[in-house]
Chain A
Amino acid sequence: MHLRDYLSLVAHEIKLNLTSYLSFILIICIFFSTGISMILLTEKMPEVFKSQVPDEWRYDQSIYFKHASHDDFSTLTEMGLRDVRLEFEKQDKLGGAYSFFHKKRELEKPTQITCVNFATKQFVGVTLVKGNPWASEANSSDNSDPTLNPVWVSEEYRKTNKLAVGDIIKLQGNNNYSFSIAGSYKISNEPFFTYDETEEMPELLLGDDPQMLISFNAGALLLEGAGLSTLCDGTATISDEFDHPAYSAKLLEMGILTYGSTIEALLEQIAFVEYFLLALFIVLNLIGLLLLASFISIAIKKRTPFLGMLKALGTKDYVLAILYLIIMEIILCLALVLAFVFGYLLYLLIAGKIGQFYEIGSLGLNTINLRNILLAVAVPHAFMLLAWALAFQKIRNIDVLRIITNRD
């Protein structure tokens, strides 16, 4: 048959039962539009959860995760924290894994980051030094302040070309300052070392009190700038580390927030809600398919005499099946167009309610992007093909002789 013949036959079939076709389109439109609103919501949920994180956190702040890893980056980025970088991730001596994220508007060279030792008040500061500063001995001009011009000479380093925890480094030309290597890390393949001024108590640092070394390793929170030693008022002890309420409170007070469990919970919630909404979308589409399959099967049954006559006249099964494929496609397209409109309205309604619930106002409009369109169009179509296979079988089973001989 020519295309226009297909179309005119289809038009005739639909016209014959216009009201039932129209009401069916409206019925499955309800399911599709609800599904589409779910899809739209999946995109907004990270934003909802992000809204639960205070604004201060957004830029130039460090955040600390107790059990986060590289995998969480994408989610964090989705949450709008676009410049999140993993600064380092390490195992502390107490057995917990800590990840440190540093987020900056633009990440310039992290030449020097001060780590704070908050565990004991004896220690003023721990500085994380990037690169190989002791190698550029010749270029040093001002050696008085290691934080400004970090050039050191290490006896050990000179001998072995290696540095290890516990090594003492001395500032060149100033024997009053010496530092012990408290920890070594690799960040982006460059060596970083934490060290301590050992001016006053070098022995202590060299291992007399192992607890203190632990505190350097585990307790180093990356922060911009110096002068954070006020944190270390001795309120926290080594064993309770970050989780110490006094410590958290202090950080909060300073606008440096720790989101240990909160972030983890948020990440979990986001994943759960996304999967839940997607599953709901699939289920709604599945119901749409079942309805479509039964609607078409009723339609075919109703038109069996006509279809049987066409078959007797020599129409092949697949031609009749294409007829119903076109009918289904028309139903689906109309239902989807309506569903996009209703689904979007429904989304706005639900998003409004969610916004109220979280007290963040409206979630705003959602861009209908390629992913949403693909999902909303492809999934029902995949299901439609299933329904069509059933319809094809129904058509194949129409017994021409039964119709011709009136044997029913």
Chain B
Amino acid sequence: MRIRILVDGKSFGVKQGDNLLHACLSNGLDLPYFCWHPLLGSVGSCRQCAVKSYDSEDDQEGRMVMACMESATQGCRISIDDPEAVRFRAQVIEWLMVNHPHDCAVCDEGGECHLQDMTVMTGHDHRRYRFTKSTHRNQDLGPFINHEMNRCITCYRCVRFYRDYAGGEDLNAFGAHDRMYFGRQSDGTLESPFSGNLVEVCPTGVFTDKTFKAHYTRKWDLQTSPSVCVHCSLGCNTLLGERYGEVRRVLNRYNADVNGYLLCDRGRFGYDFVNSEQRIREPHGRQAGAAAGEDLDQEAVLERCASLLKTDNSLVGIGSPRASLEANFALRELVGADHFYSGISAQEYELEGAVLKALREGPVRTPSLREVESADAVLLLGEDPTDSAPMLALALRQSVRQQPLREAMKAGIPQWHDSAVRGMIQDRKGPLFVATPVATALDDIATEALRAAPDDVARLGLAVAHVIDPQAPAVGGLAAAAQALAKRIAAALLSAERPLVVSGTACGSTVVIQAAAAVATALSVARAQTEVDPPLLFLTLSECNSLGLALLNPKPLAQLLKSGGKGVGGTAVVLENDLFRRAPAEQVDALLEGRSLVVLDHVPHATTERAHLVLPAATFAESSGTLVNNEGRAQQFHAALAPAAAIRPSWSWLRGAHAAARPLEAPPVSLEDLRNACAAATPELAEVWTPAATAEQTQTLRYAEEKVPRASFRASGRTAMHAHLNVHEPSPPADADSALAFTMEGFSSPDGQLIPSYWAPGWNSVQALNKFQSEIGGEQRGGDPGVRLIEPRAAGPSCYPDAAPAAYAARDGEWLVLALPRIFGGEELSNGSPALQERTPEARLVLHAEDGRALGLEDGDEVEVSAPGCSLRLPVTLLDDAVPGVAMLPLGIPGKGYLALPLRASIRRAPA
């Protein structure tokens, strides 16, 4: 409910029950704070947000209160400007600054520091303290985070985020009074996969981005753009920062529905592949039969394209789940829908099919990550999202708080009152049931965690569905314990307000995905006649544009390979894809044999090596485009820098090649035209990508014909940047693909999806975000980026499989080998980033400890894994918390190529 409060005599509308600090900030008022954070709530410890509060109209005195600790009530009267409150706040900052070093000039936080901003805001500009300051020894916290403890102001945000919010255990507060220390028990890598958020959560320069430090630039000198993470299917929103042609860092870009204030460490530190020495920077041609090739200039390239593509009227095109929707569409246009193939493996195609079916035909809605956080009972089937879709794991960590939180709210404790809420709910957690083949990082918060082979996970899921809705297939021969567990899960889901089922493609099992969809369907049947909220179904996919590619209805790659490419033309065009990761080498070889191969990509791999023409494609950082995340949310990313001369976005290469080969058929188009054409040809897009909507992305209509500058107005050195080459300042690169410009000039207060960085007068830190939200923690002004493309069908056909799979039976001497996703080392692009490489553990096969003992193995011993078409040698990790007869093989082992997981293999100790 909205109420009104009086602040310094002016009336403001606020949400009843919000704390006063939140209310003031939501109304755009400047009130300094430290310990409060919109995600973490209030603890009232720093005393920085003090205001005067008056009991009544007649109260002239007032009393000092902490704004973050008081609820806004109808008609309440406070003052920020009261001289005593002003003095009090200046004093607070003075004592917070007592031990603070005077090192802003050499501090990475300098110029985007909340402490600087608040110090200026309170007017404290003179240090009276004349004694020694306490100093600390810094720790080596690994490749991601730099530590500089002397700058700490003891606000406790770091530990409240790391421990309370993200469930990390290896960071803590040590000592007492002015010897407080925030760090690890001893030097060592911060283990939480969300550690990078400390960079933004800490209001000072204690925790800063170590990868950024390696090529540091002040915030105001970075050229920044709104982007989307390309390292998993969730599509978290990011801000990319560039200087001198290099991507320098990734920061969170707020999206209330997707990633909120946070990112995972893969997303934050995986960017460096863009700057890699390995990048393909020149077009490269190789005549058929020749071993080596040559670099080509633009004209020669297009000629070569034309000759390769023209001669052939049935080209074959292979798309990519990590290329933009526009690039995939441009390829489909070039080769024709009949010859457009999906660039994913046969297994993946089937898994995606199961997910798409659930999304498109099922009656259950896919929630956003924000909605996942507010689910109050969860069933997780098959995979550990910490490794496959990290931010989902963080959202699930919040969902287990929902039920206990309700108790706290019933007791009259406002949700923002963090210490009181935590004090009341203690260790209590709402229901989260986990059923996976191997231990997960969420087991610590799980109500019950079951270890089972995928088929048995699916059987459990279907048993739950059957308990909820007898129409779902019965599961024969289920053990009593599993049956009882199914009943407990069903009861928890049925009694919840917002039950959620989570699964995805990472577990490699379509039956598990079907089972997850079945549970969600059963819940929606059971709840159909009631008033309660419908259930939710969250399914992860493998790559950043898996769903976008699928929406273009590509044919399965396996079909093409099986036929050895019979009936398709003599030239294959491969878009941002290494086919040798997607299919057995013999099959790919057979396809490529005797064909001309054109490959567009930014990093070299086995497929580019075979190409007759390699076109250097722009990465996400140098191009604009659209990705569709697992939720079916189409989101635009915008280039942070213009690509180097010979590099072009894939869609532009493809259109250029198309025009060169068949000029009449493919006149030159803009990205906007291409989007409109794509929308017209794609049912899911037609309604949301109206010409008006696409025009907003690329044109300047929105802000009085002005573009939005990517550089800040105080960017320095623009005239000197290229002076070593030419003293004449070049004109800035044009950007026809977005409504942003590579300049300092233009419309500098954008909203919605075009915000290139957060800054407002007096607010230089990331917390300037406050000024861009319609309400703190709510939507951004101008709307949050992205549009949802897929909504559930009103009364869909039931999504039940015909029957339950048989229980998994381990055979003697044979193991079911499953893919094990890994947050670091398990994704193709981020694997090219040095900081992530440092965090990538040795690839080891995970075996159940008993199986290991039977083979006479100890942890770390080498084994041989053999199956038809597969022979691997690697060390083992033995785990009790796994399934006998099931082995887990890490994804993305470099040089290992394609493996048709899951597969059945024999495993034995490797001969010495």
Whether chains A and B associate is no
Chain B positions within 8 Å of A, measured between CB atoms, are: none
Chain A positions within 8 Å of B, measured between CB atoms, are: none
